[in-house]
Amino acid sequence: MQKSIMSIDEATGRYLPFLYPEEMSYWNGLKENKVVLQRCNACGKAWFPIGPACMHCFSFDFKWDAMSGKGVLHNYVVYHKAWMPWMESRVPYAVIQVELDEGPRLTTNILDCPLAEVKIGMRMKAAYEQVNEKITLLQFRPDKG
Ligand SMILES: [Zn+2]
């Protein structure tokens, strides 16, 4: 049987991501409160999710580059069911997709915003939730300027 690669925070029961070695530039960036993504040296575009080749031109030549951390709310969905016990106190909650000003779209959570105020097109800025010494999660909150 294949073992799960998920880890669980024992204090909260929250599922945490597995940190793959090839993704450590992203995770280390978040620890420094920066959104660091891959940017193609051939066409100049940034991309996400993390992968070996540019999704725009398929070049393997890239660098890790700090993004602005700003963008717009591209899409969202509201969950009324807690899919794990850790989420029970949070329902209903929105899962959002933010399109960074640099182009990549990130699926994430929205902080400090009542559900009734969640709107497609609203300006967003990155927020950083330090979960433990290894993991800082990327979240977003409304950018009120
Ligand atoms: Zn490219």
Do the beta carbons of residue 47 and residue 38 sit within 8 Å? yes
* Tens-place pLDDT, residues 66-111: 999 999 999 999 999 998 888 898 899 999 999 999 999 999 999 9
Taking the whole predicted model, whether its pTM rises above 0.75 is answered as yes
Q: How far is the CA of 102 from the centre of ligand 1 (A)?
A: 13
The per-residue pLDDT for 4 is 61
Q: What is the 28 CA–ligand 1 centroid distance (Å)?
A: 23
Ligand 1 centre to CA of 27 (Å) is 22
The rounded Å distance from CA 60 to ligand 1 centre is 8
- The pLDDT of residue 1 is 57
Q: Select the more confidently predicted residue: 144 or 68.
A: 68
Give residue 114 CA to ligand 1 midpoint distance, Å: 38
Q: How far is the CA of 92 from the centre of ligand 1 (A)?
A: 39
- Residue 3 pLDDT greater than 80, yes or no: no
Whether 51 and 37 have beta carbons less than 8 Å apart is answered as no
> What's the CA-to-centroid distance between 82 and ligand 1, angstroms?
39
Q: Given this model, what pLDDT does residue 2 score?
A: 59
**Distance (Å) from CA 130 to ligand 1 centroid:** 32
* Cβ contact 36:26 at 8 Å: yes
